[in-house]
Structure 1
Amino acid sequence: MGIRQLCSFAALCTSLASLSSGAVVVDVHPLHGSTNSESFNNMGQASRERAASLLATAGTGDVPIVNMFAAYAMSIGVGDPATNYTVIIDTGSSNTWVGATKPYVTTETSISTGEGINITYGSGVVLGKEWLDTVTLASGLIIHNQSIGAASNATGFAPFEGIIGLGPTSDTNRTVFNETTGSFINGTIPTVMDNALAQGVIDTEVLGVSFSPITGNNSNSSINGQLSFGGIDQSRLVGDVTYTPRTSKWPASRYWGIDANLTYGQTALGNDSSNSGIVDTGTSVVVIADDLYDIYLDAIPGAYYDNVTQLTAIPLDSVSSLQNFTVYISGEPFVLDAVTQLLPADQNVEAGGVVGLRYSYITPLGWNTTSGLFDWVLGMKFLERYYAVFDTQNNQVGLAYTNHTFAAVS
């Protein structure tokens, strides 16, 4: 997991809504105005590091989550009485842990497993001990005896205090070790979603994700995002959800990986019969294999990869000719047009860029499609355009259109 963004933030706002789907909802608000410029500058590099690290290692509820520009975060409570931790929302990993910047606090509900944790992310390595404890996601959304890591050493995650892992259970294999022998333990541990289902907290193991873009350069208070545990919030959709099975192609199959075809304008990006990639809330931007990126770059006059912002720099006179970047999933087109490919112009300076350019969120992955690895990752900036459904019950991923508002391209 490659998020290394630094920013300051206020207490997160949690609310619970009753929906026809029965989902428990958590809302989020952006805190962009206080974001350190490193949040922006690390987005491309952090996304590549994350991609590389992915290869190494009864009711329902809606919960608020916070747009930190380059990552989404939420507040969880651990223990009873609960200590609150601000954690990154990550569908690209499956372990839940705390302690990066605020120590894990034991209470009467804390049970030591006698095991250690050792997990590698793009941002660093997490070392510590494994516990079972009560985890509170929202009022009425409480999970007991949840596996929770207590980090004793976690660098590269500040100011976040941990991660809530919402990826497939299989990715927890060999993440804990015997503290006596030092050997990793073969086998998986139940995720937050697994235990929520087993304990009757949710009716179905489905996660709905609604991300929304930040508008302007000082939007730091309005609630704009939401996780739905155990269902879908239909009020955030436009039309139906398009579902596609998780891919069988390794290594994308280890995660929320799917098969899809990519195009830029009328030009195919890659081999239609073999493209596979990952849908990942923990990746900031859209990263595509280098040979696909070269096609994208060559099609935009004067465009180049910018080492300062680590985004794609585009001259102003080329913006009007930008074409659609389209992801075809089960035959349905999911489009990033010129507006949704570009960093809003009023965020250029904070991103480390200059006024006389525009910057695209589509960036190189760090390897070619011939590598035998996955070909792309659809990260947070893609998911700000489309509602995502991670459906463990049916082993599939869904996407739907949203009615989010984006600033016009000027």
Structure 2
Amino acid sequence: MIISLQHRSIMFPAASLLTTLLLALSIAASPVEIRNSPITLPIARRLNTSGGSINILQHDQSRAAALKNVGENTLNRRTGSIAVTNDAVGYIAAVGVGSPATTYNLIVDTGSSNTWVGAGTAYVKTSTSVDTGEPVEVTYGSGSFSGTEYTDTVTLGSGLTITAQSIGVAATSTGFTGVDGIIGIGPLDLTEGTLTDEPDYDDPDCIISEIVVGISFEPTTTETDTNGELTFGGTDATKYTGDIAYTPLTTTYPASYYWGINESITYGTTTILSETAGIVDTGTTLILIATNAFSKYESATGATLDRTTGLLRITTTQYDALEDLNFNVGSNTYALTANAQIWPRALNTYLGGSADYIYLVVNSIGTPSGEGLDFINGYTFLERFYSVFDTTNSQVGFATTAYTDATTN
């Protein structure tokens, strides 16, 4: 193991990028919350309109189905079946691989843990590239990649360079357009079964003090916008207001395989979803809730189903009457205002919708409550609240931001 904190260059045995990165950052970490971590990585939102208008609902519901299926198939992980990546709306981080580095635009995904390149920009071998000879294969439901595991130098922003890092290099891939691969920041168990020769993550040398990732998104009304940030090993206090409130990870299956929490949802004072398990997910664009909760929300708002987009549509009068949609997590409530419940009107045409309509970002997950994954708090929730994914303490945190009550949409 080689550590040089002065140059922020770290070498560890092969492991997931997130594990290696956070181990590097935690070498001198104290067991308290680290504010203003020096390692940050910008995230850009990109609408994938290469095939014309996008169907966000279809992609999100397909992803939700795949997320549930991976829990059901945990006894047969060698199939490598994990969550489908949302290729309708991507949240992209620029990551350097090799020396000199080639920059790859990778989807940020909290629903998977493999990091790989080569879907778009071909992998460029340099003097730091080492072919392990190990095959790697992952199926994402509506996409997949297969190839070979390499170790190489990985550069994240200007803050950290990791040497001899394990990455997947795609020989073939399907379902990924306009991006080069994935940077997976989901729970480590999701990598199991994707490599023939799995590394031993129980090595005593791999004890990690603080595995924390902070994520900031900001509402945007443009097709492509660098409106987010990943912070590794701590949080960025400039991105949120007040304090971060934490809730323990759920033990309910299959939400427990992801960043799962328990919450209830009320529309105004009316309960539409009693406390149940679901997940927080950067790879889902909309807010998806169980079919019975969705029916109550549709009725309460007076919305009608728009056949073109699959989204709920409301009138200006109904928008003016919208009540807060409250996500009750532990003793804390996170309220989405009326403006936070609608899709950015400037981007309606990218959905194939009308520029004059008002579309809601809450929709059905496709199954009733009681199945162990009854909601997904997707990007449209996360752009209003700062989120913290804390593996060390098995918890997820939220805080308000300057955009919680914004009228951007």
TM-score band, normalised by the shorter chain?
0.7 to 0.9
Structure 2 partner of 1:55: 68
- Where do residues 220-299 of structure 1 align in structure 2 (5 Å cutoff)? 220=224, 223-272=226-275, 275-299=276-300
SS at match of 1:320: helix
SS at match of 2:351: coil
Give the Cα–Cα distance (whole angstroms) in 1 for the partners of residues 207 and 115 of structure 2: 17
Structure 2 partner of 1:397: 396
Cα deviations by residue, 1:160-196 (Å, 9 ceiling, x for unpaired): 110000011111111123xxxxxxx6x5676xxx9xx
Shift of 1:327: 0.9
Structure 2 partner of 1:4: none
Q: Would you say 1:152 and 2:155 are equivalent positions?
A: no
Would the aligned equivalents of 2:277 and 2:373 in 1 still touch at CA under 8 Å? yes
Structure 1 partner of 2:385: 386
Would the aligned equivalents of 1:348 and 1:355 in 2 still touch at CA under 8 Å? yes
Would the aligned equivalents of 2:268 and 2:323 in 1 still touch at CA under 8 Å? yes
SS at match of 2:271: strand
Q: In structure 2, do the counterparts of structure 1 residues 39 and 286 end up closer, same or farther at CA, with 3 Å as the change threshold?
A: farther
- Unpaired runs of 5+ residues, structure 1, are 1-18, 58-67, 178-184
Cα deviations by residue, 1:330-349 (Å, 9 ceiling, x for unpaired): 22011111100101223222
Letter in 2 for 1:46: H
**Percent of aligned pairs sharing the same letter:** 39
SS at match of 2:349: coil
- Where do residues 67-106 of structure 1 align in structure 2 (5 Å cutoff)? 70-106=89-125
Cα deviations by residue, 1:91-130 (Å, 9 ceiling, x for unpaired): 1111101111122222222222322222122431222222
- Unpaired runs of 5+ residues, structure 2, are 1-33, 71-86
Give the Cα–Cα distance (whole angstroms) in 2 for the partners of residues 279 and 39 of structure 1: 29
- Where do residues 59-208 of structure 1 align in structure 2 (5 Å cutoff)? 70-177=89-196, 204-208=210-214
Cα deviations by residue, 1:286-341 (Å, 9 ceiling, x for unpaired): 1111121111112122422x343232222333212212211111220111111001
Give the Cα–Cα distance (whole angstroms) in 1 for the partners of residues 270 and 52 of structure 2: 32
TM-score calculated relative to the size of structure 1: 0.80
Would the aligned equivalents of 2:283 and 2:379 in 1 still touch at CA under 8 Å? yes
SS at match of 1:224: strand
- Where do residues 258-407 of structure 1 align in structure 2 (5 Å cutoff)? 258-272=261-275, 275-304=276-305, 306-370=306-370, 372-404=371-403, 406-407=406-407
Query: RMSD of aligned C-alpha atoms?
Result: 2.6
Cα deviations by residue, 1:214-252 (Å, 9 ceiling, x for unpaired): 13x46x56x432111111111111100010111111111
SS at match of 2:301: coil
Q: In structure 2, do the counterparts of structure 1 residues 55 and 112 end up closer, same or farther at CA, with 3 Å as the change threshold?
A: farther
Would the aligned equivalents of 2:56 and 2:88 in 1 still touch at CA under 8 Å? no
